[in-house]
Chain A
Amino acid sequence: MLKKSVSILSILALSLTMLAACGKDNTSTTPGQTASEEPYTVNFAYHAPKEGNQTEVNALINELTMKELNMKVNLMPITWDTYNSKMPMMLAAQEPIDISFVFAFSLPSFIDQGYIVDGSDYEEYTKDLYKVLGDDLQGGYIGDMLAGFPMMNVRGTPSGIFVRKDIFEELGYKASDFSVTTDDMSSFKQITDLFAKVKEKYPDMTPFDGFRTFGLNTITYVDGMGDNFGVLENYGQADKVTNYYESEQFKQFALLNREWFTKGLSSKDIAVDKELGQAKMKAGKTFAFFASYGANAITDVKSQTGYDTVLIPVSSKMKSTTAVNGALNVVLNTSADKAKAFQFLNWAYNSKEFNDLLNWGVPGKDWVVNADGQADYPEGVDATNVNYHSDYGFIYPNQYLMTPWAGSPKDIWEKYKAFSDDAIVSRAFGFTFDSSSVAMEQSQLAAVLAKYENAISFGAVDPEPTLKQLNDELHNAGLQTVMDEKQKQLDAWLSKQK
């Protein structure tokens, strides 16, 4: 009986294999060959808050691209949930997509699975794009491969603590009273004192809440070069790759959060509840939260929480690869005409109209230019009934070309650019760790970290014994191997830069 079934199965499997084999074969046309009459349609996957409302925007973009490029575009909106669940399947199924945005954390597996086309082979089509990105293009390289093009937006976001202005001032504080710096870890005591005072005067308030805190947002203090297993400490200025979880800084952060947790200065759910501080503050019972911020922070936080806030900065600005390549546009191997895809990207980073259409929708219907030259809703339209409104400028090709939204500072993009200018540049800026040779170790390390990271960082457990456990397990899982490999690649990269 079993034998029979097995033979039936093998016949089936064989027929299937054949089936799966066809259609997989992507014979790509020679670059630029099809350039003549027939307009090429670029399938463009972009991050969007919702699906299905893009038809009109798509038509307008088509008009534009037909005029300027003799191409058409098929907009493929990808929402946050489809990015995580459906995208991997579309890619593995090799559905035709020319260009897609990719978050940096998925880049290694995209490359490993062969989804991404090396941009350096198509340099001739992306000259203008290189000009726009300048130095930041370095963030798109993994080894010698130009994996993608970073989005053009604000770089180097430092972190700080946002506190409710009304309470802060009622208690008689001024922002200038605070000077908190990682150079002197005892300076963080100022924040503890502030929280304690709030707790005393407003017993029903939670001084600190939200799913972000110092140790977790390491990106602002150290350069992790892709992951956090082996970092350059001190804003990327350290000589050697070290283990951040054994550093004095991480320990001090953990102890600080532990103190807040045990004294009831932070929420009892802080290590579990995934809500961000903005949402917590909005509900009215939270005094402060931790976040990284850009040039327009206070206005942004006001619109997210409904409260005026005061910002207490707790880190310096650092420009690292991670800060640049958080999200990238990549050309995928399923593109039928890769040269056209690169041409399109080249244009996308340089067209104001395209970026505005993608972000704000149909002019005159979804938005209008107001008297200040900024974008605003037309008469009778608001956030609840607007058809298309992405407001994801930071994850579209070039935010700096977009019409700013009403209420922003006049020179918002100048401010954004200037904001990054005085950032400390990490020694490893431009370097991205190629983790393919240690992928196995990396996933073990990630599993270990997942056990401890939140609990330690938010102070839900006593760091004294737990930190040691964490580091022991990290070493058992092959931390040294990853750090050595990282150091090796970094040294090789540094020597090439000179």
Chain B
Amino acid sequence: MTYNKTHQTVSHILLLLVTLAMIIPLLLLFISSVTDEKALVANGYSFFPEKLSLNAYGYISTNSGTIFKAYGITIIATAIGTAVGVLITAMMGFALSIKGLPGKNAISFFVYFTMLFNGGLVPSYIMWTSLGTVNTIWAYVVPFLLTNAFSIILIRSYFASNIPNELYDSAKIDGAGFFRIFMVIGMPLGKPILVTIGLFSCLNYWNDWQNGLYFITDPDMLSIQALLNKMNQNLQAVITYTSTSSSSTATLPHVSIRMAIAFVAILPILVMYPFLQKYFASGIMGGAVKG
């Protein structure tokens, strides 16, 4: 769109406000994690705490070896899962976008149906455990490949409205042409939507703690979210149950630990964000080559 100066200024002001609203809660999370527990209890939550303390991070760092390993697991699962997931989603979405494909509606229905109906957790659990994913990286990767059949529909309508029909007609004459069109035209032209879906898939994998809970018993295979979730639960259990003086954790500041644990979980994303964003932004802008 074409904008004049005033429009630019107004947009900037509005967007800066939005940005603030997005960042402030995160900031509060971080500040609470480094607030001295006693100061927190006495003065309440604050952006300008009276006394700082790194005790919470000290407690977490006793597990630093495990934490780095867990980051590794998460990164591998995220990378494999996103790459494979986006590819199979894109192929399906592309195929469904082709006009005149026999059975198109039935297959779309077949895809969409999975978004509404599910058999509950137990059958899925039986399925993935019996396929041998327990305590392997696949326990993280496989159940989330297509977290949302909706992405297929999204890609489909994107292709349908952005790829000129003539291309398809020419491809239909030469059967194998579809695959070539997918690689040569579909993928580059679809970059904005594929990148968007890839980003969501990434975040989905990064935030997942449930698969770790259900399918992993080997502590060396825990993903970062699963590990932190366990730490959080253990902390709670120690406080609730332990009676003898043999547990040092009983005297730990746990409000700040809770906050610190949450912060550690998103730290790598925050660090990598500018880099990721650069890549994703170029992907999204790349789609606009036509203009």
Contacts and interface: CB of A to CB of B under 8 A. Distances in A.
A302 interface: yes
Interface residues of B, number: 46
A5 B104 CA distance: 12
Interface stretch (B17-25, B93-101, B212-220): B212-220
B125 interface: yes
B243 A79 contact: no
A296 interface: yes
Interface in A87-123: 88-89, 92-93, 95
B38 A303 contact: no
A377 B245 CA distance: 11
A303 B219 contact: no
Contact of B239 (A79, A276, A406): A276
User: Which of B113, B217, B242 lies at the interface centre, i.e. has the most chain A CB atoms within 10 A of its CB?
Assistant: B242
Interface of A: 1-2, 4-5, 8-9, 20, 49-53, 79-82, 85-86, 88-89, 92-93, 95, 204, 275-276, 278-279, 282-285, 294, 296, 299-300, 302-304, 306, 377, 382-385, 389, 391-392, 394-395, 405-408
Given A80-B236, A283-B38, A303-B250, A1 B106 contact: yes
Contact of A81 (B229, B242, B251, B255): B229
Given A5-B113, A8-B110, A296 B243 contact: yes
A384 B248 CA distance: 7
Nearest to B251: A306
Nearest to B243: A300
Kindly list the 3 A-B residue pairs having the minimum CB-CB distance in the complex, ordered from nearest.
A52-B219, A303-B245, A383-B248
Contacts of B109: 1-2, 5
Contact of B214 (A86, A405, A406): A86
Contacts, number: 119
Contacts of B26: none
B253 interface: yes
Interface in B85-133: 105-106, 109-110, 113, 121-123, 125-126, 129
Contact of B41 (A1, A8, A284, A303): A284
Nearest to A4: B106
Given A283-B255, A304-B242, 13 more contacts: A5-B113, A20-B123, A52-B218, A53-B219, A81-B213, A81-B230, A89-B214, A93-B125, A283-B41, A303-B245, A303-B247, A391-B244, A405-B244
User: Which of A51, A85, A395 lies at the interface centre, i.e. has the most chain B CB atoms within 10 A of its CB?
Assistant: A51
Given A5-B109, A49-B234, A405 B245 contact: yes
A1 B105 contact: yes
Given A80-B233, A282-B251, A303 B42 contact: no
User: Which of A8, A93, A382 lies at the interface centre, i.e. has the most chain B CB atoms within 10 A of its CB?
Assistant: A93
B245 A93 contact: no
Contacts of B125: 89, 93
